Amino acid sequence: MAGTNATQVALAGGLDDPGITAVGAALTAAAATAPAGGTGATAGAYDSAANRDIAILAIQTNLTRIAELATKVTAIETALQRMGLMSA
């Protein structure tokens, strides 16, 4: 390919890398928000079982999302290392 350098060729070839294609998969967990909880003197407190349950679910959902993102970052790093574009 005229006018291309080794990095461009490696990058173009790397786009077919299974590690890169797997990164495109959608995340299963959507970001969640915790309930405000409480009013007045207890503002911000999880003063009911319902608010605590919503908060626990939000935390668990966000932890799932963080784990999925970490997996994607690792896959990207591995693919870039295989292409010689990133050192270990």
Structure confidence at residue 8 (pLDDT): 58
Q: What is the pLDDT of residue 33?
A: 78
pLDDT tens, residue by residue, 50-68: 878 888 898 999 999 999 9
- d(CA 28, CA 19) in angstroms, rounded, equals 18
pTM score > 0.85 for this model?
A: no
Least confident of 19-23, 37-41, 71-75: 19-23
Q: Which long-range contacts (CB under 8 A, 24 or more apart) does 20-26 make?
A: 20/75, 20/76, 20/79, 22/75, 23/72, 23/75, 23/76, 23/79
What pLDDT shows up at residue 51? Answer: 78
Look at residue 72 and tell me whether its pLDDT is greater than 70.
yes
Spatial distance between the Cα atoms of 76 and 86, rounded to a whole number of angstroms: 10
